[in-house]
Amino acid sequence: MTRSRRILIAWLVAYAALGLIGGITGLSHRDEQAFGFIAGVPAMVCIYLWCRAESLERGVLPRSGLTMFAALVAPLGVPWYLWRTRPTAKAALKSIGWALGFYVLVSLAMGLGEALGQALR
């Protein structure tokens, strides 16, 4: 398994755990802004690490700052990163579709973790 894939799995597990903690503690409902910040930090770290690992695996060195842009402004940065690092437009659009699907999967993991946490409370 590649390093980039392990990073994506770690992100998925981290978000499921955050959802579980948020559901058990009730923090996600009591202070949504704090919970959003807490959830945003691992997302930024995972996106940055994934971009670096993925670019090294592909042998593509993105322009300076592109991985940081992807991490800090993910809704714009990740599609832009994928667009700039893929050889064709078709490959870029396919990668953007996979990224969107992964985002939905991560959101579902967090939601299911939170529901489980609330059930355990």
Helices 3-25 and 89-120: angle between axes, nearest 10 degrees: 30
Q: Domain segments of the chain: what residues?
A: 3-120
In this prediction, residues 93-114 reach a mean pLDDT of: 95
Sign of CA dihedral 10, 16, 22, 24: negative
More confident residue, 61 or 2: 2
Count of all residues that appear for the chain in the document: 121
Cα–Cα separations (whole angstroms), residue 37 to 27, 34, 42, 115: 12, 5, 9, 20
| pLDDT tens, residue by residue, 40-81 | 999 999 999 999 999 999 998 887 789 999 999 999 999 999
Query: What's the chain's average pLDDT?
Result: 93
Q: Given this model, what pLDDT does residue 14 score?
A: 94
